[in-house]
Each structure stands twice: as C-alpha cells, then as structure tokens.
Amino acid sequence: MSENVLSGLAEIVEEVAGVAADDVTADKSFVDDLDIDSLSMVEIAVQAEDKFGVKIPDDELANLKTVGDAVNYITSNK
Amino acid sequence: MTSGIEVVITGLGATTPLGGDVTSTWDALLAGKSGVRPMTHDWVEKYDLPVKIASQLVVDPTEVLPRVEARRLDRSEQVAIVASRQAWSDAGHDDDTVDRQRLAVIIGTGIGGAITLLTQDDLLEQHGLRKVSPLTVPMLMPNGPAAHVGLELKAQAGVHAPVSACASGAEAIAWAYRMIMSGEADVVVAGGAEACITAIPVAGFSQARTMSTRNDEPEKASRPFDTGRDGFVLGEGAGVMVLERRDFAEARGAKIYGRLAGIGTSADGYHITAPDPEGVGQSRAIAAALRSGGIDPSDVGHVNCHATSTPVGDVAETVAIRKAIGDHPILTAPKGALGHLLGAAGAVEAIVTVLSIRDGIVPQTLNLENLDPAVTLDVVAGEPRKIKLDAAVNDSFGFGGHNVALAFTPA
C-alpha cells in the first residue's frame, strides 16, 4: 500500500470532514468508523481526483468502503 | 386569554453588528454605538456600486464555530447556529429538559443562502460541475438555518422557516406563539438569520433606490425618522429566542425575561415594495396583537419600530401606530445603530423590546437629530430613556406587504 497516497488522502479527509489525519488508517470504514456522510464523500473524491490525477466514477466511489479500498483504487489507477 | 395558556421568553441569543451576543449588543445599543462600517469587499470597487457601507458582524461566526462545521454551513446558517446555541444555553435547557416531540424550531430568513448560491455559480462558470459543492443545496435553501438548528436540537414537533422578507424573524416568533397556544409544542426556538452582504443583493437594493449612499459617514448613514435619512443600511446577523408555555417553564424553574402576550399579522394588498402610506395593514397587525394579548392600547408605553431609515416607510409606520395605539407610546428605531438585518431584524429587535421592558429603558434612535415634521409622535433620541413599561409592541414589515406585530409584557 502506498504510504504517500494514504497520507495524502488522510490530509483531504481531515480538511473535509475534520477527522484527525492520524485516525485515517487503511482498515477504517469511511461511513461506520469515520462518520463521513455521502456528501462529504463526494467532496473527498473530487479533491482526491485533483491531488492524484485519477478519475473516480460514481459507481467506483460506491465500492470504496474503507480507506484501504480508496488507497488501492487510487494507486492502481494513477 | 381564555385558553389559560401563556407564552413566556426564557432564553435569548444573538450575533449582530453591535456585538457577538445579546449582552454586548444591548450595551452597545444603549451606549450609542453604530454597527455600520465601510465594505472592504473587492466587488464594491469592481462594480462601482453606489453603496459602499454595510452593518457588519463584529464577531465572525467562523471564529466561534469549529472549522469543519463552519465549512458545511452558509453564513446565514452559521449565525443561526451561533445565536441558537446562546439562546438554548441561556434558557437552561439540556438533553432532558424537554421531550423532543414537544420542541419546535422556527427560524426565518429574507434572502437565504445568497452567498453560497453566488459562490457556487462562480465555481460552475469557472471550473465546471466537478467543483460545485455537494453541500450547495442544503447551504442555499432558505429553510437551511431552521433545518440545521432543528437537527442540532433534535426538534421534532416541527421545523419551519417563514420567508416574508424583512418580517421573517418576527413572523417566526409569531408562529412560535401560535404553536404554543394551540398546544402543538411546549418549547419553541424561534428567530431570524440573515447574511447576504454580497454583490447581487447590494446591487439590487441599490437599483431599487432603497439604500443609503452616505458612504462618507458610515456611522451616520442609518437615521430613522431624521429629515436627512436617505435609505436603509444593509446588515447581517441573527436573533433567536426560546419561547415556552408558562407552566412548563415555571415547572422547571426557568428564569423568565418577559411574556409574549399577543401577536398580529396582516398583509397590505397594496404594492410589492412600497408601504401603504395610510398604514392600514400595519395598524391592523398592531391592533390584532393587542387584541390577542388582551392589552388595552392605553397600556402600551412603547413601540420598537421597524423604521428602516427610508423616506416613505418611517412616516407610514407612525401613521399606523397612531391609528392602532394612539399618540402616547414612545418610539425607538434600533436600525439607526444596527442597520437593517432583513430577515433577522424582527428577531433581534424583539429581543431589544423584551430587554427594554425588563430593564425599564428604551434605547435612543441613533442619528435622530432633526425629527421629520411629518412624525408627530415622541421618538427617543440622544440618549436612552428610563420608563416603566406595562406593555410594548415590536413592529416588523417586509417587501411584499407583510406586517407582523408582537406585543410583549413583563414576566
């Protein structure tokens, strides 16, 4: 797993949702553990697209349940 | 009243161009301070707007709210949250003091999330769909301030957002009265919120020739009832009060600021922006407030006026007051100091009225130096006036011909 992508994603999650970056770890569920709603997920996805130069279509976004899912998707689609 | 139900005020909250809370606002009002300052926004010069002044918050809501919470809220919602938290805490409520199905929230706004609408439109124009916030709609909807406060308090008796331009805040309080009197709620958090100091509202009001252009003397620009008045000064802020059924408040040992004895509403049916110069609709609202409160006009010692510092409106209101009450009440117009908070004005000024009764003092109308000879009533000017009040009325009127009068009495 890319530590750079993880730390970059953690910064975005902190900016958008106020979750401390240290708490944004691969095993965490966005909804169940980090209390991030669907509106904030859209913001996080848009910022991640800009930061990492990837496309995250809505049907893919729906499958990104955990932080690890997102890191893996971003890493393999950069 | 025959129902035996009384509505009392147990908590107050506000953030205004005079102060970040109720106490600082009240103190500044009595001290003769003005909230009007030059606008430093880049769009003032960019569009060469004729109005370069506004009555602006002294405590920015983003200084009070956590960063992430603030970024999810339009500025009008931020001020509503700030004022509501103050009022709720002032009322001594906590998680267990009221059944949430007996708690309602009613917060009006005149304009709603104009800043969000314009900001997001710019993003769409400049960067396309991707940059438009998914929070755009909940931030711009005019029921947003009420919805966010309702959600925070988990209010389930109802969450409402009256929209009647500059009468919205007062209309919310009138609606609260009705909900308590009809038995729909025991406690209602009610008021108004507005934050639309941005290019389009300023441009639009300017084009309607309703705003003061006394740009060189900002603190003197808002001058209700004065011969030199030339329009209102746009303001921002929020006022919220907690209203309760008296027996409910007394049972939990709450402090009581005063009583909302009666309310009256009417519509002019005259013109979309101009008030009826004969004040017929306004006087009907005032008379209705006294009637519903069982108050004899001779007992009304004071009217806290809507007077916005426009040439026509200020005089029309005094005609209405004479019709409904008579020549005896002493008047004040807090907009001289506060500017015009649009949908928040009625709520903030209702708070001022309640404090006037509680403290036995009526603040002066700031900048009233030469009383318009068309005004034949006694308007407090120069310094506050001490007076024991048995009843006082607060007027609020809005574009569209909306009229609201609130009649308050001591605790």
Does A46 sit within 8 Å of B135, measured CB to CB? no
Residues sharing a CB contact under 8 Å with residue B8, sequence separation 6 or more, in sequence order? B243, B244, B245, B246, B249, B256, B257, B258, B259, B260, B411
Stated as kind and residue range, the H or E segment containing B269 is none
B339/B232 same-domain check: no
B199/B274 same-domain check: no
pLDDT at B3 over 80: no
Q: What are the φ and ψ backbone dihedral angles of B241, each rounded to 5 degrees? A: -125, 150
Q: Which domains does chain A have, with CATH numbers?
A: 3-77 (1.10.1200.10)
Asked if A54 has any chain B CB less than 8 Å from its own CB, the reply is no
Q: Which of residues 329-368 of B touch A (CB under 8 A)?
A: none
CA distance B132 to B124: 6
- Residue of A18, A39, A46 with shortest CB distance to B68: A18
Of B216, B251, B286, the position where a domain reaches its end is: B251
Residue B62, domain member (yes or no): yes
B2: confidence class by pLDDT, cuts 50, 70, 90: low
Q: Mean of the pLDDT values across residues A52-78? A: 95
Of B231, B251, B271, the position where a domain reaches its end is: B251
Residue B256, domain member (yes or no): no
Q: What are the φ and ψ backbone dihedral angles of B235, each rounded to 5 degrees? A: -130, 175
Chain A residues inside the 8 Å CB shell of B62: none
Write the ipTM: 0.86
Asked if B128 has any chain A CB less than 8 Å from its own CB, the reply is no
Residue B63, domain member (yes or no): yes
Q: Mean of the pLDDT values across residues B388-393? A: 98
Of B251, B280, B305, the position where a domain reaches its end is: B251
Residue B1, domain member (yes or no): no
B247/B270 same-domain check: no
> Exposure of A32 by Cβ count < 10 A (0-12 exposed, 13-18 middle, 19+ buried)?
exposed
Does B131 sit within 8 Å of A46, measured CB to CB? yes
Q: Give how many domains chain B has, as a whole number.
A: 2
Please, what sign has the CA dihedral across residues A64, A67, A73, A78? Answer: positive
Residue B258, domain member (yes or no): no
B267/B246 same-domain check: no
Residues sharing a CB contact under 8 Å with residue B250, sequence separation 6 or more, in sequence order? B256
What value does the mean pLDDT of chain B take?
A: 97
What is the tens place of the pLDDT at every residue in B9-39?
Answer: 999 999 999 999 999 999 999 999 999 999 9
Full residue range of the structural domain in which residue B284 is found: 263-410
B135/B22 same-domain check: yes
Q: Are strands B302-304 and B330-332 parallel, antiparallel or unpaired?
A: parallel
B76/B143 same-domain check: yes
CATH number for the domain harbouring residue B328 = 3.40.47.10
Residues sharing a CB contact under 8 Å with residue A17, sequence separation 6 or more, in sequence order? A34, A35, A36, A40, A44, B68
The closest of B305, B115, B249, B273 to B193, measured between CA atoms, is B115
Query: Does residue B200 sit in helix, strand or coil?
Result: helix
Chain B residues inside the 8 Å CB shell of A17: 68
B289/B237 same-domain check: no
B243/B286 same-domain check: no
> Exposure of B24 by Cβ count < 10 A (0-12 exposed, 13-18 middle, 19+ buried)?
middle
Residue B30, domain member (yes or no): yes
B223/B342 same-domain check: no
Q: How far is CA B341 from CA B234, B254, B261, in A?
A: 6, 29, 24
Asked if B67 has any chain A CB less than 8 Å from its own CB, the reply is yes
Residue B162, domain member (yes or no): yes
Q: Mean of the pLDDT values across residues B139-164? A: 98
Residue B363, domain member (yes or no): yes
What is the tens place of the pLDDT at every residue in A3-59?
Answer: 899 999 999 999 999 999 999 999 999 999 999 999 999 999 999 999 999 999 999
Asked if B373 has any chain A CB less than 8 Å from its own CB, the reply is no
What is the tens place of the pLDDT at every residue in B306-351?
Answer: 999 999 999 999 999 999 999 999 999 999 999 999 999 999 999 9
CA distance B59 to B57: 5
State the Cα angle at B132 between B129 and B133, rounded to 5°.
145
B85/B216 same-domain check: yes
Q: Mean of the pLDDT values across residues B176-200? A: 97
Q: Mean of the pLDDT values across residues B103-113? A: 97
- What pLDDT is stored for residue B1 in this prediction? 46
CA distance A6 to A50: 15
Whole-structure pTM value: 0.96
B170/B27 same-domain check: yes
B243/B267 same-domain check: no
A78: confidence class by pLDDT, cuts 50, 70, 90: confident
